[in-house]
Amino acid sequence: MRSASIAFVAASTLMAATAMADEGRFAGRAPQTEVVIGEDTYGTGDLTAHQVGSYQFQPLSAATPLTAGSGVSRFFTVPSAFAYATPMLPNGAQIERIEVRACDTDAGAEIRLLFGPCTMNGGLCALAGSVQTGIAAIPGCNNFSTTLAAPVIVNNATQVLFVEVRTGTTSSTNFSAVNLYYRLRVSPAPGTATFPNDVPTSHPFFRFVEALAAAGITGGCGAGAYCPDTAVTRGQMAVFLATALGLHFPN
């Protein structure tokens, strides 16, 4: 079951980052409110695709509007124009790959996707990865993706994620969506132990026990103890699972 959340992203004074390439420079933007569908995903093994549809993107100005193509595709008719979106992903998620779903049948133009995190309150945006369909090529309709050189760890308290798309000036270069592929992580280990009696910082399960404690899933088995080698009863299992998954919230 998927849950909807509203993310209010203050991006009114985002400045151009010197690290950005000219074609993907981040400029000042007006505040945006985005309705985001949050993925109900579990586990750290698989990548989850967070999709930002073309109609969630905003052009830089009214003078460079996005034009509707076939289906849900969109494109620019003005050169050097770009559109942007500020997606919201789960805090602590690790973004590893970016992808644009697009059609490029123009040998003289291309579609470009740029992605990176921006600091809050008018800070700079750093380029984490980019995708180009390629000038002097006709790659057709496909999912064009790249793996980030360094994963981006989502920190919603201090950063705003940013995606930017450019197209050619005809319907032969259009895009329908951008996908951000991420996986969940277990929190890094803290410096001190919650259960120093039997799960000290040197314990092989220290990081994972601390994650359970910090999430409120366990309070241990006594003062300063977790009892890591004690069997779990069916009752204790019910507490662990129901607390971790937030099960059965009545309508």
| Domain 3-183 belongs in CATH node 1.20.1300.10 | no
C-alpha closest to that of 186 among 204, 210, 160: 210
- In this predicted structure, what is the pLDDT of residue 156? 92
> Domain residue spans in the chain?
3-183, 186-251
Kindly state the helix (H) or strand (E) to which residue 119 belongs, with its residue range. Answer: strand 112-119
Q: pTM for the full model?
A: 0.77
Residue 88 carries which DSSP code? -
CB atoms within 10 A of CB 246: 8
Question: Is the pLDDT at 241 greater than 60, yes or no?
Answer: yes
Give the mean model confidence (pLDDT) for residues 5-23. Answer: 30
pLDDT tens digits, one per residue of 142-190: 999 999 999 999 999 999 999 999 999 999 999 999 999 999 999 999 9
CB atoms within 10 A of CB 190: 14
- In this predicted structure, what is the pLDDT of residue 39? 60
| Burial of residue 229, with CB atoms counted within 10 A of its CB: 0-12 exposed, 13-18 middle, 19 or more buried | exposed
- In this predicted structure, what is the pLDDT of residue 159? 93
Question: Is the pLDDT at 25 greater than 70, yes or no?
Answer: no
Mean confidence (pLDDT) of the chain = 83
- In this predicted structure, what is the pLDDT of residue 50? 94
Helix then strand then coil, % of the chain, to nearest 5: 10, 35, 55
Counting residues of the chain whose pLDDT is more than 90, the rounded percentage is: 66
Entry field: residues in the chain: 251
pLDDT tens digits, one per residue of 58-99: 998 888 888 998 889 999 998 888 999 999 999 999 999 999
Q: How far apart are CA 29 and CA 24, in angstroms?
A: 14
